[in-house]
């Protein structure tokens, strides 16, 4: 039996599925849709114009992926999502989705899209099917746009989610010695900026500073898990538990494993809740002052 021939509609649908519903004029023509038919579909609403030569198929409300994909397609072959938009798609920063930013292979002006000229040596990859800058490259791009704490959290997320190492980011920085946020990013990579992932952690560190107690390493690996706070020289590990993030059975099991590993490596282990830190800070500080002095002596 011969190969089944796909219809024009099937070809268009296949392209749209791969690209979050976005298609280009060239892709439609290659699929067998004539120029007149494109205009007819636009009039009927079967195609919705997003950018010049880029359309959305159907009537569904566009997702953020569709918006970003359309922006990349509008900037031509070799274009890459970059900047804060790339950091958002990778999950390195929180909050509402930023407007699309794209590195384009040639000078482009696309309404609603911040475009920059792509460097020849710049490598790209894909995230959810969208051409995008690599995670290390994205961190360098946003290093000048984020505050120091937010940049530290972005680097932390890159390590947790994608195994991105400081060396990989340093390598990207070496290619771009004049990157505007380079000095700030190196400060994070060298561990000079503590990573705090919640208001509970930030408040806890503020309490320690106010009491002139030594500050711990935060959110760094110890054993097989990352721990919230650790004083290696004092052999003390502290976990900060909020109900929001520790109420599942999986989270409960992971917390027990962290405690076992802490005791196995010879650490004292303490667990403080949201109420401990916010409602009984004096008691928390008194306990820690004793533990840190005893361990230091």
Q: How many CB atoms are closer than 10 A to CB 229?
A: 24
Spatial contact of 55 and 28, defined as CB atoms under 8 Å apart: yes
Does residue 4 have a pLDDT over 70? no
Does residue 2 have a pLDDT over 60? no
- What's the pLDDT tens digit per position in 152-194? 889 988 987 898 888 999 999 999 888 999 999 998 888 777 7
**How confident is residue 56, by pLDDT bands cut at 50, 70 and 90?**
very high
**Per-residue model confidence (pLDDT) at position 247:** 52
Max CA separation in the chain (angstroms): 84
For residues 166 and 145, what is the distance between their CA atoms, to the nearest angstrom? 19
Q: How many CB atoms are closer than 10 A to CB 47?
A: 22
Spatial contact of 128 and 97, defined as CB atoms under 8 Å apart: no
Prediction pTM value:
0.76
Please state the φ and ψ torsions of residue 252, each to the nearest 5 degrees: -60, -45
For residues 73 and 143, what is the distance between their CA atoms, to the nearest angstrom? 26
**Per-residue model confidence (pLDDT) at position 131:** 97
Question: What is the token pair recorded at 236?
Answer: 């003390």
- What's the pLDDT tens digit per position in 211-242? 999 999 887 777 777 788 999 999 999 998 86
Domains assigned to the chain: 8-59 (1.10.10), 66-189 (no CATH), 199-296 (3.40.960.10)
- Which of 22-31, 35-44, 216-225 shows the lowest mean pLDDT across its residues? 216-225
- What's the pLDDT tens digit per position in 66-108? 999 999 999 999 999 999 999 999 999 999 999 999 999 888 8
């Amino acid at each position: 039996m011969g190969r089944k021939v796909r219809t024009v509609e099937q070809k268009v649908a296949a392209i749209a599925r791969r690209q979050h519903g976005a298609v280009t004029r060239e892709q439609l023509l290659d699929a067998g849709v004539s120029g007149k038919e494109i205009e007819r579909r636009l009039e009927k609403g079967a195609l919705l114009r997003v950018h010049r030569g880029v359309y959305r198929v159907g009537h569904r409300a566009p997702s953020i992926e569709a918006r970003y994909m359309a922006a990349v397609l509008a900037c031509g072959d070799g274009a890459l999502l970059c900047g804060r938009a790339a950091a958002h798609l990778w999950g390195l920063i929180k909050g509402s989705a930023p407007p699309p930013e794209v590195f384009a292979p040639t000078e482009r002006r696309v309404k609603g899209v911040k475009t920059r000229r792509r460097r020849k040596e710049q490598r790209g990859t894909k995230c959810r099917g969208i051409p995008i800058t690599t995670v290390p490259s994205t961190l360098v791009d946003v290093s000048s746009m984020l505050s120091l704490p937010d940049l530290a959290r972005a680097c932390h997320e890159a390590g947790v989610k994608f195994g991105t190492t400081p060396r990989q980011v340093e390598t990207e920085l070496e290619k771009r010695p004049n990157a505007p946020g380079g000095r700030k990013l190196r400060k994070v990579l060298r561990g000079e900026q503590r990573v705090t992932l919640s208001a509970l952690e930030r408040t806890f560190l503020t309490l320690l500073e106010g009491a002139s107690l030594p500050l711990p390493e935060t959110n760094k690996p110890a054993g097989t898990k990352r721990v919230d706070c650790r004083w290696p020289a004092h052999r003390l590990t502290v976990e900060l538990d909020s109900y929001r993030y520790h109420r599942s059975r999986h989270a409960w099991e992971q917390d027990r494993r962290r405690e076992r590993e802490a005791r196995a490596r010879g650490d004292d282990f303490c667990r403080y809740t949201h109420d401990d830190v916010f409602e009984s800070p004096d008691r928390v500080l008194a306990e820690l002052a004793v533990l840190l002095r005893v361990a230091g002596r």
